[in-house]
Amino acid sequence: MGEKALQGVSAAPGITVGAAVVLDRPGAARVALGADPEAEAIRARDALHRVATDLEDIASALRREGRGEEADIIETGVLMAMDPQLIARVETLVVDAGLGPAEALSEAAEETALELSRLPDAMLAERADDVRSVGRRAAAYVEGRARTATDGVLIATTLGPADVAELAPTAKGIVLAAGGVTAHAAIVARSLGLPMVVGAGPELLDIQDGEEVVVDGDRGLVVRRPDPERVDLARGDAERRRLARNTAVARRDQPAETKDGHRVRVLANASTAAELQEATKQGAEGVGLLRTELLFLEASEWPSQAQQLSSLRPVLSRLAGRTATVRLFDFGADKTPPFLRGTSARGIDLLLESPRALTTQLAAIVEAGAGTDLRILIPMVTSTTQLAAVREALDGVLDGRPRPQLGAMIETPEAALGAGAIAQTADFLSIGTNDLTQLVLGLDREQSRTAPVMDLRVLGLITATIDAAHAARILVDVCGEAASDLKAMPVLVGLGVDELSVAAARVGQARQQVRELNFVAAQQEAEKLLHQTGHASRERV
C-alpha cells in the first residue's frame, strides 16, 4: 500500500517524521462490552497507585539533587493520587455510571480540579492542574501507554493548553482530529517551533501507536506510510530546525549587540512555563508579552484571582529579577470566551466595563509578579483616559508593594496617531504590529503577520510611535510578529526600537540577527524608507 495523506489545516509550520503517540481513542469512554465493572474499577485504582509510586520516585530523585521545594510540590501529587475521595469517585463512575476506567479517572480528576479551582485559598486553587495531571497519567496507565513517553508525533482529538505545555517539550509534532488554528494549543506549538496540523478528521484516530507518520505543518498534511523521499525531506527539515536551535542555545550568552555596538534587548512572548523555558534556553532577557487571555478562552465568567494566580505563577516564579511584562486581558474579536459572546468591545475597553474584573486581575498580577521586574501592559489602548483609569485601579491594589511600570500597547492607527499624548502618561510603549498592520491595511489577521508591516503607511505609524516614546524619554518595544520577521526586524532596529519581543522558538534567531546587523547602516536604510513616507524631516531625540 502506498502513502495515505489526511488533509487538515496548518497550525504551526515545519515538517517532521516520527512514531505516532496516540493519546486518545474514540469509544474508550464506556466500560467495554463484557468487561467486569468491578475488575475495571480495580484497574483504575491500581493505575492511581502506580501514579503515586511514580511521583514518589520523581520526588525522591529531586530531593537527592537538593531540589527540595520541587519535591514538595510533586509529593502533593502523591497525596492526590491516594486521596480516598478521588478513588471512591472513580469507582462509582465505573461501577454505577458505566464509564470506562480511563474516562472515569479523567472525569473524577476534572471534578476535583474544578472544586479546587473554586476555593478562595490560592495555594489550594493552584493544585487544580496537578490533580488533572494525576488523572491523565493514571488514564494513560489503564490504556496501556506510558504518558511520559512522548518522543514522537502526538495524535489526539483535541489537546488543552496544559497538555501541550506538559507534553510538547519532548514531542516532534502534533496532529489533532479537531481543533482550530487559533486554539491555544496551536499558539504554544508555534511558539515552541513544533510542526502542527489541526482538523485532520476522525480518520486520524485510525493511526496506530508507533506507526511512522510525516507531519507537514506547512501544508496541513499528515501522511501515513510515507514514501522514502518524503521521509528524507522531513528528516532534513527537522534536522535544519534542530541545528538552528542548537546554535541559538550555544550562543545564548553572547549579547544581542550589533556589529557597531548598539544593544537591543530581546525578550520573549511567553504565556506558559514551557515557552519560558525554551525562551530562556535561547537567551531571552525576560518576557515582553504574556498574553493572559489565552488560558481563559473557554471561561464561563471573569477568571477569579485564584485561577489567575495558578496560570501566572508557573511563569512569573521563574522570572525573579528579570523583566516580566504581563498584559491585561485582551478579550474580544477572535478571543471571545463564552461569557462575553455578543460583545463588540475589545481589549481595555471591555475590561473597563467590569471594574471588579480589572482590580481582580491587577491584584493577581501584582501578587504573582512579586520579585520580578514587573511591567503591566494595556491592550488596545486608544486614549490617555484608559491609562489613567488603570493607574488608579492599580494604586488601589498595591498595598505597599512597589508600583510596576504601566505600558500601553500601540496597535491601532488611532493610538499611533495619539502616541505623543499616550507616551506622556505611560511608562513604556509596546507596538503590536499584528493588529496595527491588519487595521491599517484591512487585511486578514493571519496574513498580517509578515511582510505587510513594511508597507509605508504602517511604517509611518511605527515611526511616529517610536519618536513619541523617545521624546517622552520612555522605551519602546515591538511585540508583534514583525519583531522576528527577517525583513522587518532590521528596519525596526534602524528606526530605533529598544526591545524586540518574539516567540520563544525565535529568540535565538532574533538575537543572532541583531548581532549580524550594522546599526548605522540599518538607520540609513530605515531613513531611506522614511523618505517615502513623509517622515523625511524626522528629528532624532
Binding mask 359-398 for ligand PEP (x = CB under 6 A): ----------------------------------------
432 belongs to the binding site for ligand PEP (CB under 6 A): yes
Instruction: For residue 305, give the amino acid letter.
Output: Q
Q: Which of ligand PEP, Mg ion, none does residue 480 bind to, with CB < 5 to 8 Å depending on kind? A: ligand PEP
CA atoms within 13 A on the CB side of 102: 19
Site for ligand PEP (CB under 6 A): which residue of 433, 463, 509, 513?
433
The active-site residue out of 49, 479, 531, 535 is 479
Residue 479 touches which member of Mg ion, ligand PEP, none, C-beta under 5-8 Å by kind: ligand PEP
Residue 486, CA atoms < 13 Å, CB-side half-sphere: 1
Helix (H, G, I), strand (E, B) or coil at 28: coil
The residues in 393-452 that bind Mg ion, with binding defined as CB under 5 A, are: 411, 432, 435
Which range, of 62-70, 117-125, 222-230, 428-436, touches ligand PEP by CB under 6 A?
428-436
Considering only residues 43, 291, 346, 535, which one is a binding residue for ligand PEP as defined by CB under 6 A?
291
CA distance 308 to 46: 34
Question: Smallest distance from the beta carbon of 243 to ligand PEP, in angstroms?
Answer: 29
Q: Is 485 in the site for ligand PEP (CB under 6 A)?
A: no
- Binding flag, residue 499, ligand PEP (CB under 6 A): no
Burial class of 261 by CB neighbour count within 10 A (0 to 12, 13 to 18, 19+): exposed
Q: Which stretch binds ligand PEP (CB under 6 A): 159-167, 225-233, 254-262, 429-437?
A: 429-437
The answer to whether 470 is a known catalytic residue is no
- Pairing between strand 265-269 and 405-410? unpaired
Rounded to a whole number of angstroms, the minimum distance from the CB of residue 344 to ligand PEP is 17
Q: Total residues at the site for Mg ion (CB under 5 A)?
A: 3
Query: Which residue's CB is nearer to Mg ion, number 130 or number 435?
Result: 435
- The position carrying cell 475590561 is 351
Polymer length in residues for the chain: 541
Longest distance between any two alpha carbons in the chain, whole Å? 82
The smaller minimum CB distance to ligand PEP, of residues 480 and 508, is found at 480
Instruction: Using the minimum distance from each CB to ligand PEP, give the nearer residue, 360 or 433.
Output: 433
179 is an interface residue for ligand PEP by CB under 6 A? no
Which residue do the cell numbers 489565552 mark?
294
Phi/psi-derived region of residue 478, left when phi > 0, alpha when psi is between -120 and 50, beta in every other case:
beta
Nearer Cβ to ligand PEP, position 237 or 435?
A: 435
**CB-nearer residue toward ligand PEP: 175 or 468:** 468
Q: Find the helix or strand (DSSP H, E) in which 221 lies.
A: strand 221-224
* Residue 538 grid coordinates: 524626522
Please give the Cα distance from 501 to 483 (Å, whole number).
Answer: 6
> Smallest gap, in angstroms, from Cβ of residue 254 to ligand PEP?
26
Residue number with CB closer to Mg ion (432 or 452): 432
Q: How far is the CB of 430 from ligand PEP (least distance, A)?
A: 8
Active site residue 531: no
Residue 79's contacts (CB-CB under 8 Å, 6 or more residues apart) are none
Interface with ligand PEP (CB under 6 A), residue from 107, 216, 237, 411: 411
Q: How far is the CB of 126 from ligand PEP (least distance, A)?
A: 25
- What is the sign of the dihedral through the CA atoms of 433, 439, 445 and 447? negative
207 or 289: CB nearest ligand PEP: 289
Residue 175 neighbours by CB under 8 Å, 6+ apart: 8, 153, 154, 155, 156, 196, 197, 198, 200, 204, 213, 215, 222
Q: Which is nearer to ligand PEP, 112 or 325 (CB)?
A: 325
Give, for 424, the enclosing helix (H) or strand (E): helix 419-425
Long-range contacts of 141-147 (CB under 8 A, 24+ apart): 141/46, 141/47, 141/50, 141/51, 142/43, 142/44, 142/47, 142/101, 142/102, 142/105, 143/25, 143/28, 143/102, 145/21, 145/22, 145/209, 147/23
Q: Which is nearer to ligand PEP, 89 or 190 (CB)?
A: 190
Neighbours of 419 (CB within 10 A): 27
Distance CA 126, CA 226 (A): 43
* Consecutive H or E run containing 407: strand 405-410
Q: Are 299 and 161 in contact (CB under 8 A)?
A: no
Q: Is 330 in the site for ligand PEP (CB under 6 A)?
A: yes
Using an 8 Å Cβ cutoff, are 47 and 101 in contact? Answer: yes
Min CB(49)–ligand PEP separation in Å: 43
283 is a site residue for Mg ion (CB under 5 A): no
Cβ at position 346, least distance to ligand PEP in Å: 10
479 in contact with ligand PEP (CB under 6 A) = yes
Decide if 406 contacts 391 (C-beta within 8 A).
yes
Helix axes 384-397 and 355-368, enclosed angle (nearest 10): 60
CB nearer Mg ion, residue 226 or residue 432: 432
Least separation in angstroms between residue 366's CB and ligand PEP is: 22
Distance CA 197, CA 216 (A): 7
By the rule CB under 6 A, 220 interacts with ligand PEP: no
- Could you tell me the smallest distance in angstroms from the CB atom of residue 193 to ligand PEP? 18
Looking at 138-146, 159-167, 311-319, 426-434, which segment touches ligand PEP (CB under 6 A)? 426-434
Residues 501/483, Cβ–Cβ less than 8 Å: yes
> Minimum distance from CB of 289 to Mg ion (Å)?
9
Q: Which of 49, 184, 531, 535 is catalytic?
A: 184
Active site residues: 184, 479
Give residues in contact with Mg ion (CB under 5 A): 411, 432, 435
Give residues in contact with ligand PEP (CB under 6 A): 289, 291, 330, 411, 432-435, 479-480
